[in-house]
Amino acid sequence: MKIVIVWLDSKNAESISALGWNGGAGPLRVYEKDNYDTRLALGKSDTLTLFTSATDAIIWMKANVGEPTQVSLPCAQVLGFSKQELGE
């Protein structure tokens, strides 16, 4: 399963941040599930949480502001990322 890494910068954020190439100026970084840059999980006991439901992802991100999580590509599209941004 392909995923992207996303997070909220604040509880009231109007947009979702995502990990991209070239300091965010390039396309989003797409990884295989649980096969992302391990520096993202530093200080965490396990792998990043994975979501396939946009509703569940948003609820989690609002409760964990600033914490990265994995979302499936279909979930990322529901969250507002385009196929072009996802490299599809």
Domains in the chain: boundaries: 2-78
Distance CA 54, CA 32 (A): 18
Residue 63's Cβ-count burial label (10 Å; 0-12, 13-18, 19+) is exposed
Output the pTM of the full model. Answer: 0.87
Closest residue by Cα to residue 2 from 35, 27, 46: 35
Residue 85 pLDDT grade (very low, low, confident, very high; cuts 50, 70, 90): confident
Per the DSSP assignment, residues forming a β-bridge with 18 are: 6
* Mean pLDDT across 8-15: 87
